[in-house]
Structure 1
Amino acid sequence: MSVAERPFDLVLFDLDGTLIDSAPQLALAVNRMLADCGFATAPEATVRTWVGNGADKLVKRALAHAGADEALFATARPLFGDHYQACLLDGLEMYAGVAATLQRLHVAGYQLAIVTNKPSDYVAPILDALGISSLFSLWLGGNSLPQKKPDPAPLLHACHELAIPVSRTLMVGDSENDVLAARAAAMPVVALTYGYNYGRDIADSHPDWLFDHFCGLDSILP
């Protein structure tokens, strides 16, 4: 298939739960924060269900789980940030097939970008540590714009910055937020089943394509 015949020119990727499994590091930081605040820790499997709406929401969910007063957020949030920064890269890995597929898409001439709700300060160090920074034309963190997913603004901003129409752009993510953002932007969307979706089946969000493995993208991105 020639470049002119491809259905897409730009592919937007979520980060946590799509390209990387960051739950081990997030759980470690959350539990160190909870311990600092005098609360019991939570199993990693539980923390996984809290991931997806950015760090602020993650901390608020952890505090609610612990039965803490909402006022404690002002103290707990910076504690979490310090702990997560300290363990950000510990054992960090991409999901199976991610590195090879991203490299193939880059070589094939697709423009690639990251649109994540993860705070911006963490994104570049992760991409650099994994050796994939050069594959992306743009990345947006959860605080890069006033809005974050499920608002469509970050997706539309990426299209604008890279001068590629929404109709030629594909969103790839693992949560309802990704699907909702893509739908609101009138953008086709792929959902991956292995990520974080608050313990719910991502199929219920009705993405355009649903894959169990990242390499499923090969079937629609030649």
Structure 2
Amino acid sequence: MKLNIKDKILLFDFDGTLVETEFLAKKVVEQYFAEKQVSQPLFFAEMIVGRTWKAATENMVSHAQHLGIALESADLLRTEFKKRYRDLFVTGVKLIPGLKECLPHFKAEAKFVAIVTGSERDEVATILKAHGLDDYFQRIWAFGDYKSSKPDPSPYLTAMRELNATVEEILVFEDSIAGMESAVRAGLSFVQITYEAHAKKKDMRALMVIDDWSQLL
């Protein structure tokens, strides 16, 4: 597939778009609720996809209350999930296929290449460095850099404002429903990556839909 990125500002989501981490987060949540013998662990695990730990845990507690399920506070859940997640990702996170081969082309052709994510900055930096990819990205907008998490448009609006860029200049790469909605609400065009199973359904608003990065080679 041919994608015109000449002189574009490329903004990449991180989890599920560049690296295979969404399944780790879901695994952490599922295992936790299974251990606590809380019903519907998969239902709660789906709430983490495309969201920050803060937004996800607040969502979980709110939904649990409606279902009559007693949970720990969102703060305690977030601390526990992040600890378990870090224990898993330090053992090795894989890249989405084809990414390493595409990045030199992106860097050479695009005007600016950056990451806009709900993950913690140190988590992103650790994974990028481990794979030798830190030099390909000129900026990282991470958790704490914007007001509200995806699907709110705040992450992309923050990046656009700080870059003094127009919507026409920017192309977003996303995998999750929350992430794609964030891009759309910011008025931005996006490419959908469907590699990780939770977002296999094609979003008709996408400029292009790819399974993984190898399709752009």
| Counterpart code for 1:116 | T
| Counterpart code for 1:83 | R
Deviation at 1:21, TM superposition (A): 0.8
Change (3 A) 1:178 1:28: closer
Question: Hey, what does 2:102 align to over in structure 1?
Answer: 101
Local SS of the residue matching 1:113: strand
Residue 163 (structure 2) pairs with residue 165 (structure 1) = no
Long gaps (5+) in structure 1 = none
| Counterpart code for 1:136 | F
Question: Hey, what does 1:122 align to over in structure 2?
Answer: 123
Is the CA contact 2:30–2:44 (under 8 Å) kept in the aligned structure 1?
no
Distance in 1 (CA, whole Å) between partners of 2:186 and 2:26 is 32
Question: Hey, what does 1:176 align to over in structure 2?
Answer: 177
State the Cα deviation string for residues 79-121 of structure 1 (Å, max 9, x = none). Answer: 1122222222223110110111112211335421111122334
Alignment of 1:15-164 (within 5 A): 15-31=14-30, 33-34=32-33, 38-39=36-37, 47=45, 50-59=48-57, 68-164=69-165
| Counterpart code for 1:118 | S
Moved more, 44-53 or 89-98: 44-53
% identical equivalent positions: 25
Distance in 2 (CA, whole Å) between partners of 1:84 and 1:41 is 21
TM-score of the two chains, using structure 1 as the length reference: 0.77
Question: Hey, what does 1:206 align to over in structure 2?
Answer: 205
Change (3 A) 1:41 1:110: farther
Distance in 1 (CA, whole Å) between partners of 2:72 and 2:41 is 24
State the Cα deviation string for residues 166-213 of structure 1 (Å, max 9, x = none). Answer: 21110010122222222222211111122364x672x24521211122
Q: How many residues align?
A: 211
| Counterpart code for 1:89 | V
Distance in 1 (CA, whole Å) between partners of 2:97 and 2:91 is 18
Distance in 2 (CA, whole Å) between partners of 1:104 and 1:57 is 34
TM-score of the two chains, using structure 2 as the length reference: 0.78
Is the CA contact 2:13–2:117 (under 8 Å) kept in the aligned structure 1?
yes
Long gaps (5+) in structure 2 = none
Local SS of the residue matching 1:127: helix
